[in-house]
Amino acid sequence: MDVVADSVEAEVMRVDALPFAAAATLLSRYGLMLHRVDDGASIPGSYWGEPEAGVIAHNVYVRGDTPVHSMLHEACHLIVLPPERRAQVHTDATDSVIEEDATCCLQIILADDLPGVGRGRLMTDMDAWGYTYRLGSTQAWFEQDAEDARTFLRERGLPHC
């Protein structure tokens, strides 16, 4: 790993920094179960590989070193899906651009429900990790270019601020 990647790894908030019960409770509100995988173990359903979160049906898998933004992102992929599609997910949740946008928007919104996180911190971590948006930052996208994602969320009865 190079120096830039090492500094990014050190900067972003990890699942270990959260009260696990608070994260599990948040996800359970949407019918999801959060699973803690032992440190060093493989993360089931991880699309990008460790330490990224994994998804299988209604389950989200994390380790202590999983970035909080990854946990929320993968969970939100499941949340935006109808139940019949959610049950079929294993590793790769969607190939839809609007579902991806809605996922990014929802993960920012839900960050406010996690102690010590909040949307500002989450957007900073998303930028540090390498999320890219045509307006140059997560915050600019969220504030100026995410109306289609908010409409998608609103139409499904999900938080959309």
Q: How far is CA 75 from CA 6, 22, 32, 98, in A?
A: 25, 14, 8, 16
Print the domain residue range for 140: 3-155
Question: Would you say residue 131 lies in a domain?
Answer: yes
Q: Compute the CA torsion angle 47, 58, 35, 128 (nearest 10 deg).
A: 40
pLDDT at 10: 56
Does some domain include residue 110? yes
Domain assignment present for residue 145? The answer is yes
Domain for residue 161, yes or no?
no
| Per-residue pLDDT tens over the stretch 93-111 | 877 899 999 999 999 999 9
Using the 8-state DSSP alphabet, how is residue 38 labeled?
A: P
Residue 60's H or E segment, with its range, is strand 59-62
**Which residue is listed with tokens 């996180």?**
117
What integer best gives the mean pLDDT of the chain? Answer: 92
- Domain annotation covers residue 149: yes
Residue at 117 is within a domain = yes
Is 160 within the bounds of a domain?
Answer: no
Strand order in the sheet with 33-36: 33-36, 59-62, 54-56
* 32-45: average pLDDT: 97
Residue with tokens 């994994």: 54
Of 151, 138, 19, which is closest to residue 73 (Cα–Cα)? 138
Task: Report whether pLDDT(140) > 90.
Answer: yes
Give the contacts of 157 (CB within 8 A, at least 6 positions apart): none
Domain count, the chain: 1
At residue 9 the predicted structure's pLDDT band, cuts being 50, 70 and 90, is: low
> Per-residue b/e over 58-93, b at no fewer than 16 CB within 10 Å?
ebbbbbbebbbbbbbbbbbbbbbbeeeebeebeeeb
